[in-house]
C-alpha cells in the first residue's frame, strides 16, 4: 500500500518482509496497547434476526489493493449469514471516509451518504492524480466486478433470507457487493472514518435522506471500518490547524508548504514512553494551541472527541469492528520510524503494521472506539494478504449478538 494525503503527495517505498504475515513480534505486551475501558452504558438489544451492516471504506489514494481484497472476501461474510439457522435477514450499505478538508477540493465528500452503484460506472474514481499517478482500476474494480448497473431500488443491498428474496440484480448478492464495495481512490487523504459513521447513523433517522430507514427497529446495526490511516475527524470550526496561515502547531514541518497526515496524529494522540517502542498510545483532546482541552470545553478540541462516537454507538447498541493498521494478532505497533524519517514526518509515527504490500498507520482513535464499544479483539489487520478470516469473524460476531 502507498500512503498518501491530499496535500503535496509523498511516495513511500513499499516494504517486502518476505511474508504475507505482517508483523512478527510487536515489541509490546498486549496489555499495554490501550488504556480505554469498556463502556458501562449498553444500548438496545436486537429483538429480531436482522442485521444492517454499514461498511465505511477509506477511498484515499493508497486503498486500491485493499478495496480489491474487500470485494474478494465479501463472500465469506455473506456465506456465514446465508447459512445461519434460523435464517437472518440482512442489509449491506457502504459509505466512504471522505468528509472534506480545506486541502481536498472536489473529492466528494460523501459525508456518510450511502453509495450503491457499480464501480464500472465510476472508473475515473480509481485513478489518483497525486505527485505520482496511481491507477487502481484493474485491481480494485475490473478484476472483481462484472455488473455494470446494479439497478437497486434502495441505496443498499437487501436480503430477506426468511422469504428467499433480495433486491440484488438477478439474485446475485455477492456479485453485486463486489461491484458496490470498491469506492475508488480519489477521495480525501485526510480520512474521517469516525465522523462518516456518525453522520451515516444520523442519516438513517432523517426522512429527507435516501438512506432513511436503512437501520430497522429491532435489528442489530453493525459497522465495519476499513482504513490504513489515522482518523482525522476534525471539527470544521478548527480547520485552521490545516491552513498555512494557522499556527501550524501540529504540522510535522512548520516550514513546509502543506501539512501531512501527521497533523491528525499530533492533534489527537498522546503516547507514553521512549518511542522505541512507546509503552502505550491513546486518544487525546487538544485545542488549536496544542493544549489539553479542559473538562466541559469539548468544543475547543480540534478533532472531535472520541466520546462523541462511543456515546452514539453504545447508545444505539452498535457492533463496531475495524480492519486497520494493527498486526495479525490484533495489536498495533506504537513506535517512531527511526530508520525512516520520511514516514515519521508524513504520519507522526511509525507503521502500525507492515507486509509485502506496504505499511499502515496505527489506528489509536479508532481502536479506542472499537475497544470501548465492542471490545479491542474486534480489530483485524489491513496488512493481511486477504480479509477472509476477518469477514468470517465479523459474521460470527454478528450471529452471536442476534436472538
Arithmetic mean of pLDDT, 266-286: 97
The answer to whether residue 172 sits within a structural domain is yes
* Cell matching residue 183: 469506492
- Return all residues near 171 (Cβ < 8 A) that are at least 6 apart: none
CA distances from 209 to 130, 201, 212 (A): 33, 11, 5
Lowest-pLDDT range of 1-10, 145-154, 187-196, 310-319: 1-10
- In which domain, by residue range, is 187 found? 30-400
Give the pLDDT confidence score for residue 32 in this predicted structure: 32
CATH (domain of 305): 3.40.50.410
**Average pLDDT over the chain, rounded to an integer:** 90
Give the pLDDT confidence score for residue 42 in this predicted structure: 66
Give the pLDDT confidence score for residue 394 in this predicted structure: 98
pLDDT digits (tens, 9 = 90+) for 69-127: 999 999 999 999 999 999 999 999 999 999 999 999 889 899 999 999 999 999 999 99
Q: Beta strand pairing status for 319-324 and 379-381?
A: parallel
4 pLDDT above the threshold of 60: no
The answer to whether residue 205 sits within a structural domain is yes
The answer to whether residue 5 sits within a structural domain is no
Q: Classify residue 131 as left (phi > 0), alpha (psi -120 to 50) or beta.
A: alpha
Query: Please, which pLDDT band fits residue 150 given cuts at 50, 70 and 90?
Result: very high
pLDDT digits (tens, 9 = 90+) for 50-72: 999 999 999 999 999 999 999 99
Give the pLDDT confidence score for residue 401 in this predicted structure: 98
Give the pLDDT confidence score for residue 30 in this predicted structure: 32
The answer to whether residue 2 sits within a structural domain is no
- If 0-12 CB within 10 Å is exposed, 13-18 middle and 19+ buried, where does residue 249 land? middle
The answer to whether residue 137 sits within a structural domain is yes
Give the pLDDT confidence score for residue 296 in this predicted structure: 84
pLDDT digits (tens, 9 = 90+) for 345-385: 999 999 999 987 679 999 999 999 999 999 999 999 999 99
Give the pLDDT confidence score for residue 130 in this predicted structure: 82
261 pLDDT above the threshold of 50: yes
> Which among 252, 257, 110, 242 has a CA at the least distance from the CA of 186?
110
pLDDT digits (tens, 9 = 90+) for 195-205: 999 999 999 99
The structural domain count of the chain equals: 1
Euclidean distance between CA atoms 291 and 306, whole angstroms? 17
22 pLDDT above the threshold of 90: no
Give the pLDDT confidence score for residue 321 in this predicted structure: 98
Query: Please, which pLDDT band fits residue 343 given cuts at 50, 70 and 90?
Result: very high
- Angle, vertex CA 205, rays to CA 125 and CA 197, nearest 5: 45
User: pTM for the full model?
Assistant: 0.90
pLDDT digits (tens, 9 = 90+) for 207-255: 999 999 999 999 999 999 999 999 999 999 999 999 999 999 999 999 9
Amino acid at each position: 500500500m502507498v500512503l498518501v494525503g491530499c496535500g503535496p503527495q509523498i511516495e513511500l517505498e513499499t516494504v517486502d518482509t518476505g511474508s504475507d504475515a505482517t508483523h512478527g513480534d510487536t515489541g509490546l505486551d498486549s496489555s499495554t496497547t490501550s488504556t480505554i475501558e469498556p463502556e458501562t452504558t449498553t444500548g438496545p438489544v436486537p429483538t429480531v434476526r436482522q442485521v444492517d451492516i454499514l461498511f465505511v471504506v477509506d477511498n484515499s489514494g493508497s486503498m486500491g489493493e485493499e478495496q480489491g481484497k474487500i470485494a474478494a472476501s465479501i463472500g465469506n461474510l455473506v456465506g456465514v449469514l446465508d447459512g445461519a439457522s434460523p435464517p437472518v435477514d440482512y442489509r449491506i450499505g457502504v459509505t466512504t471516509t471522505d468528509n472534506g478538508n480545506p486541502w481536498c477540493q472536489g473529492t466528494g465528500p460523501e459525508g456518510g451518504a450511502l453509495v450503491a452503484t457499480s464501480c464500472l460506472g465510476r472508473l475515473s474514481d480509481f485513478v489518483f492524480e497525486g505527485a505520482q499517478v496511481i491507477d487502481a482500476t484493474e485491481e480494485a474494480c475490473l478484476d472483481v466486478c462484472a455488473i455494470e448497473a446494479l439497478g437497486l431500488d434502495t441505496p443498499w443491498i437487501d436480503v430477506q433470507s426468511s422469504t428467499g428474496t433480495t433486491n440484488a440484480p438477478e439474485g446475485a448478492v455477492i456479485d453485486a457487493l463486489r461491484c458496490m464495495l470498491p469506492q475508488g481512490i480519489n477521495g480525501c487523504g485526510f480520512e474521517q472514518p469516525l465522523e462518516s459513521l456518525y453522520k451515516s447513523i444520523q442519516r438513517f433517522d432523517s426522512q429527507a435522506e435516501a438512506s432513511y430507514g436503512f437501520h430497522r427497529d429491532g435489528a442489530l446495526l453493525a459497522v465495519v471500518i476499513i482504513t490504513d490511516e489515522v482518523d482525522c475527524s476534525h471539527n470544521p470550526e478548527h480547520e485552521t490547524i490545516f491552513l498555512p496561515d494557522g499556527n501550524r502547531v501540529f504540522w510535522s514541518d512548520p516550514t513546509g508548504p502543506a501539512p501531512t497526515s501527521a497533523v491528525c496524529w499530533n492533534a489527537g494522540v498522546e503516547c507514553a514512553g521512549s518511542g522505541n517502542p512507546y509503552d502505550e498510545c491513546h486518544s487525546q483532546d487538544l485545542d488549536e494551541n496544542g493544549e489539553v482541552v479542559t473538562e466541559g470545553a469539548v468544543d475547543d478540541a480540534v478533532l472531535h472527541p472520541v466520546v462523541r462516537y462511543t456515546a452514539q454507538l453504545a447508545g444505539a447498541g452498535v457492533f463496531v469492528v475495524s480492519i486497520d493498521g494493527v498486526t495479525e494478532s490484533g495489536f498495533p505497533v506504537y513506535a517512531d520510524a527511526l530508520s525512516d524519517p520520511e514516514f515519521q514526518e508524513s504520519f507522526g509515527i511509525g507503521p502500525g503494521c507492515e507486509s509485502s504490500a506496504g505499511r499502515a498507520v496505527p489506528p489509536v482513535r479508532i481502536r479506542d472506539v472499537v475497544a470501548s464499544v465492542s471490545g479491542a479483539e474486534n480489530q483485524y489487520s489491513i496488512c493481511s494478504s486477504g480479509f477472509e478470516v476477518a469477514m468470517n469473524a465479523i459474521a460470527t460476531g454478528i450471529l452471536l449478538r442476534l436472538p
